[in-house]
Amino acid sequence: MRLRLVPLALILAAATLAACTPAAPASGSLVYGLTLAPTGIDPHLNASSELGIPLSSVYDTLVFLDPGTGDFVPGLAERWTISPDGTQYTFTLRRDVRFHDGTRFDAQAVRANIDYTLNPDHHSQKAAFMLGPFDRVDVIDDFTLVLVLKEPYAPLLDSLSQVYLGMASPKALEAWGPVDYQFHQVGTGPYVFVEYVPNDHLTLRANADYAWAPSVYTRKAPAIETITFRFFTDTATRAPALESGAADIIGEVPPQDAERLAADGGFTILPVAIAGQPLQYLINTARPPTDDLDVRKALLIGVDRGRIVQTVFGTASPVAQGPLSANAMGFVAGAALPGYDPMEAARLLDAAGWPLDPVSRLRTRSGQSMELIVVVPPWGSNPEVAQLLEANWASLGVKVRLETVAGFGPLKEAQAAGEYNLIGVNLFGTDPDLLRPFFVTGGSYNWANARSAELDRLLLEGSQTTQDRSSRALLYVQAAELIRDQALVLPIRDYVNLVVANARVRDLHFSAQGWFPLLIDLQLAS
C-alpha cells in the first residue's frame, strides 16, 4: 500500500479556515507516544524537538506561524511593527491573559522570560541563539514593549513563534530556577503541565480558563481533559503499542509498520512533511580527495538517491533535491541536483586523475587507492543509508570506510578532528537562515569547510532582509544554486514524520514546524 505524502500546509489549511467549534467541557483521556527521552525539557534551556510535542500546548508564543499561509499571526501579541532598519520590533500585547498560576501576562513577563533565557549561568542550548543579535527589551508600558536588535535579523518572528521562546510565568521561573523549573512548568496555553517523571511519563490537563486561542487553532478550547505522554524509544515497540492500546498516537513509525497498520481500519496514518534540511552528508572540501570539485560532483551523481530512499523509507519520503526541504522558503526545483549518472561520474573521476585500475578495479593515483571516510550519525536511518552509499561508490571503484558514532557529542568530536570526507548532520526549522551556520565562512556547522565570498554575502543578506519576503526567498534560491554548483552537500531524503493514530482520534493537526501536534484541536470519537 502506498502512503500519500500530505504537504503540511494542506493538512492544516482546512483547520485554519474552519469555523470555530463551540467550546464544551473537556473530557476523556489519551496517550501520546514520544520517541525520544530528552535529557531536559525546559524549552528555554534545552533543545530537543521532542520536548515541543507536549510543551507547545503548555506555552503560547507572542506570534504564531500559520502553516496554511506561511504568515505570522497574532498570539499573545495583538499586533507588531518593525522599524524600517529592521532593528526594532514593537509589540502590543493582549490584556486578558493569565498564566496557569494566576499571574498576569504583561510586558514585564516578556522581559523576565528573555532575561531567564539569556542568563549565561543558565546555559540555554537553543532559545538564546534564536534571538540572534539581541540587544535589549524596552518596556514602554504594561502592554507595550520593544525588542531592540544590534542589527537586522529576519528570522526573529519565526523564533518568537516557537516553543523555545514560549512565555512562562515569571513567578514560577523565579521560584524554581533553571534546575527544577522543568518539573514545574507554567505557561498560558490550552493545557496545564501536571507532572513529569523522566523516562516514564509526562501529563497535561486541559486549561478550563483558556480564552485567547490564536487563529491557527480550529477549536478555541480543549476537548480532551487529560493527555499523558509515554516514551517508546525503541522503534520496534511503536506498532505493538498502538495495536495493544498502550498508545493512541505515535510518530516516527517505521515505514513497513505504517504500511501494515494502514491496511487496518482501526488506524489513521498521517505522513507529515518536516521543514528544514534533509537527511544529508556535508562533503569536506578541505581533505583529499574531496577537496577536488570534480571528485565531489562525481560522488553526487554516482549515488542513486531515488533507490536509496525507496529501499530505506518506502514511498512516503520524497527524494531531497537541495540543502532545504521542498516545503521550505527558497526551495525551487531549478536548483535541484543533477540525477543519477554513473557513466558521467566515472568520466569525472577519470578527468580528476583517478582512473580505474583494471586489476584491482579500484580508483588509483600514484599507487594509492581512493578512499572516503564517512562519519555516520546513529539517528534517522543514517546507518542504513550509509551502507547503500558505500555500495554505490564501490561500483565506481571507490573504497569507503564508514564510522558510525554513538550520538551528537562523538559526531562533533569526529568533526573537530577533521579526518572525514563526508559527515552526516542536519537541522530542522521553518526559516531558511538555518543554512547560514552550515555554509558561511567560519559557521558553527560549516563542516564542509566552505569558503565563498558570494555565498557569505547571500546568506548574510538573507538573514537581514526583513521587509521583502520575495526578495529574501530569491537570495536563498541563489544560495542553493551555489551550494549545488560547489557540490558541498549530498542530500538524500526530505524528512517525513509518519504519525499513526487510533481511529478514535479525530482532528490531528500539526504546527508549521511539523513535529508539534495542536493538542487543542484533538477530539475523541464517542
User: Which residue is associated with the grid cell 496545564?
Assistant: 192
- pLDDT tens per residue, range 181-202: 999 999 999 999 999 999 999 9
Please tell me the predicted confidence (pLDDT) of residue 444. Answer: 93
Dump pLDDT digits (tens) for 123-137: 999 999 999 999 999
| DSSP-derived pairing of the beta strands 88-93 and 77-82 | antiparallel
DSSP H helical ranges for 223-304 = 238-244, 255-262, 293-301
Q: What mean pLDDT is predicted for residues 158-166?
A: 97
Average pLDDT over residues 281-287: 98
Least confident of 7-11, 98-102, 268-272: 7-11
Q: Where are the beta strands (DSSP E) in 429-522?
A: 489-493, 496-502, 505-506
Instruction: Characterize the bridge pairing of strands 399-404 and 371-376.
Output: parallel
pLDDT in tens, 382-427: 999 999 999 999 999 999 999 999 988 899 999 999 999 999 999 9
What's the DSSP call for residue 41?
A: -
pLDDT level of residue 332 (50, 70, 90 thresholds): low
* Phi–psi pair at 259, nearest 5 degrees: -65, -40
Dihedral-angle region of residue 334 (phi above 0 means left; psi in -120 to 50 means alpha; beta otherwise): alpha
HSE-CB for 118 with a 13 A CA cutoff:
14
pLDDT for residue 379: 87
Contact 21, 218 (CB under 8 A): yes
Sign of the CA dihedral with 295 first, then 301, 307, and 311 last: positive
User: Full-prediction pTM beyond 0.85?
Assistant: yes
Domain extent listing, the chain? 8-273+497-524, 279-494
Residue with cell 522558503: 329
Yes or no: say if 325 and 276 are a contact pair by the CB < 8 Å rule: yes
- At residue 487, does pLDDT exceed 80? yes
Report how far Cα 450 is from the mean position of its chain's Cα atoms. Answer: 23
Q: What is the pLDDT of residue 23?
A: 59
Q: Which pLDDT score is estimated for 380?
A: 84
Calpha distance 258→273 (Å, rounded) = 15
CATH superfamily placement of domain 8-273+497-524: Periplasmic binding protein-like II (3.40.190.10)
Half-sphere exposure of 326 (CA within 13 A, CB side): 21
- Pairing type for strands 249-250 and 29-34 reads parallel
Residues 6+ apart with CB under 8 A from 358: none
The H or E element containing residue 89 is strand 88-93
Q: Please choose, from the candidates 240, 317, 236, the residue with its C-alpha nearest in 3D space to the C-alpha of residue 272.
A: 317
Separation between Cα atoms, residue 11 and residue 272, nearest integer Å: 8
For residue 2, pLDDT beyond 80: no
**pLDDT value at residue 486:** 97
Q: What's the whole-number mean pLDDT along residues 272-285?
A: 95
Cβ proximity of 432 and 478 under 8 Å: no
Across all residues in the chain, what is the average pLDDT?
Answer: 93
| Segment 211-240, tens digit of pLDDT | 999 999 999 999 999 999 999 999 999 999
Helices (H), 206-302: 238-244, 255-262, 293-301
Beta strands in 128-214 (DSSP E): 134-141, 144-149, 191-197, 201-206
pLDDT at residue 265 in the model? 82
Name the range with the highest mean pLDDT among 18-27, 334-343, 352-361. 352-361
Q: Is it true that domain 279-494 has CATH number 3.10.105.10?
A: yes
Compute the distance between CA of residue 222 and CA of residue 219 in angstroms, rounded to an integer.
Answer: 7
- pLDDT of 5 above 70: no
Residue 179 has pLDDT above 80, yes or no: yes
pLDDT at 316: 84
